Each structure stands twice: as structure tokens, then as C-alpha cells.
Amino acid sequence: MKRKVKWETRSLEWIHEVREEIDKEIRKEGKTPAQWVKSRGKIDINLLCQKLGLKKVKIIERKELQHYGHARIERRV
């Protein structure tokens, strides 16, 4: 239990630090949060998976999304 509380505390501290950095960047650019998000552009899912070390994933392309309506990542077997 002590470990869990310690991990939760650290993760919350990290979340608050990241949020403060984002808020500073938004204020510096003089944008609204929505404008800032739009200016960040689209995420390259393949690059993100590579940076996170996710090797056994299959990215479902736009053509295959007829049943889902949004991007999906499936684990390869």
C-alpha cells in the first residue's frame, strides 16, 4: 500500500509539472488552449509507438476504420 501511495504521489507531481509547462507555453504564445492544441498538429502514431518501444502493434489504417470510427492500435501476435 505504501508503494502505491508513493507511486501515485510521484505521478500526480509529474502531471502537474507537465501541465504547468503547457500553461506557460500557451501564455507565451498568447493562444487559447484549443488554439494551442490545434497548432500542435497530428500525432505520428508509428513514431510514437517506436519511441515507446511498442514493437508488436499493428496500426489500422483509415480504410480499415469503417467499423470503429476512430484510430485503433491492435497488438500483433
Contacts of 56 (CB under 8 A, 6+ apart): 75, 76, 77
pLDDT of residue 47: 81
pTM: predicted TM-score of the whole model, two decimal places? 0.47
CA distance 76 to 42: 24
pLDDT in tens, the chain (77 residues): 667 777 778 888 888 998 999 899 999 999 988 888 888 877 778 888 888 888 887 777 665 555 555 555 566 54
